[in-house]
Copies of this chain bind each other. A is one copy, B any other.
Amino acid sequence: MFDERKDQIKKAALKLFAEKGLAGTKMSMIAEEAGISQGLTYRYFESKDEIFGILVEEAIEESRNAIRNIGTLPGSPLEQLKAFTLRLLDENHKQYFLLVQQAQTSEVVPSKALEAIERYSPQDTIEQIMPIFVRGQQEGLFAEGNAAKRLIVFLSVLNGLMLQDAKAMGMNWAQDVDLVLNILTK
């Protein structure tokens, strides 16, 4: 089926882009990872840039959803943020997250992907998480003081963890998230 092969290629591309960036990923690598010939890729996508652009948009969409859902998770604000953190650290989201990372820091990004990224500022993310954090502060779960600043640090930290984790240090996060949440609770 057409769409299934498409997904297969996207999956291979996501893995490589997240790891090696746009310029570092060759079409031949994507084809190999997907187990097809190099030329076939072009029956499903117009160009490397197109694949990259689509993935970046999906990643942002995905990330938006994860954040939007925090509020609907069960438990206290602390438990909500913990669940959110664990979700981000799982394999699938991690790749998306790293892709956005690559797109933001690294290299010359195709214009379409660039637009998507510019619409998706870290500021947005912080504003969405803010109410939950503030509620947690009121309940005495989190540290007092400038919430935005603390959340920036917290998100940076998640970034770092995902990158580190990508290098396969083999930590079991389910067990260790609490250390990370210390940033918020102290």
- Cβ B180 vs Cβ A153 within 8 A: yes
A163 at the interface (CB under 8 A from B): yes
- Chain B residues, Cβ within 8 Å of A105: 19-20, 163, 166-167
Stretch touching chain B among A49-57, A64-72, A128-136, A154-162 = A154-162
Is A40 an interface residue, CB under 8 A from the partner?
Answer: no
Chain B binder among A21-29, A31-39, A77-85: A21-29
Establish whether residues A179 and B156, one from each chain, have CB atoms under 8 Å apart when the complex forms.
Answer: no
Does the CB pair B21–A107 fall under 8 Å?
yes
Out of B156, B165, B169, which one reaches A163, CB within 8 Å? B156
Which single member of B19, B160, B186 contacts A156 (CB below 8 Å)?
Answer: B160
Interface residues on A, range: 35 or more
**Contacting A19 at CB < 8 Å: which of B24, B106, B185?**
B106
**Contact mask for chain A residues 164-179; partner B; CB cutoff 8 A; 1 contact, 0 none:** 1111010100001001
Chain B residues near A179 (CB-CB < 8 A)? 149-150, 153, 183
Q: Which residue of B lies closest to A186 (CB)?
A: B182
Q: Indicate if A73 sits at the interface (CB-CB under 8 A).
A: no
- Complex interface bits, A75-114 against B, C-beta within 8 A gives 1, otherwise 0: 0000000000000000000000000011011111000000
Please name the residue on chain B nearest to A182 by beta carbon: B186
Q: Which A residues are within 8 Å of any B CB, using their own CB?
A: 19-24, 101-102, 104-108, 122, 149-150, 152-153, 155-161, 163-167, 169, 171, 176, 179-180, 182-183, 185-186
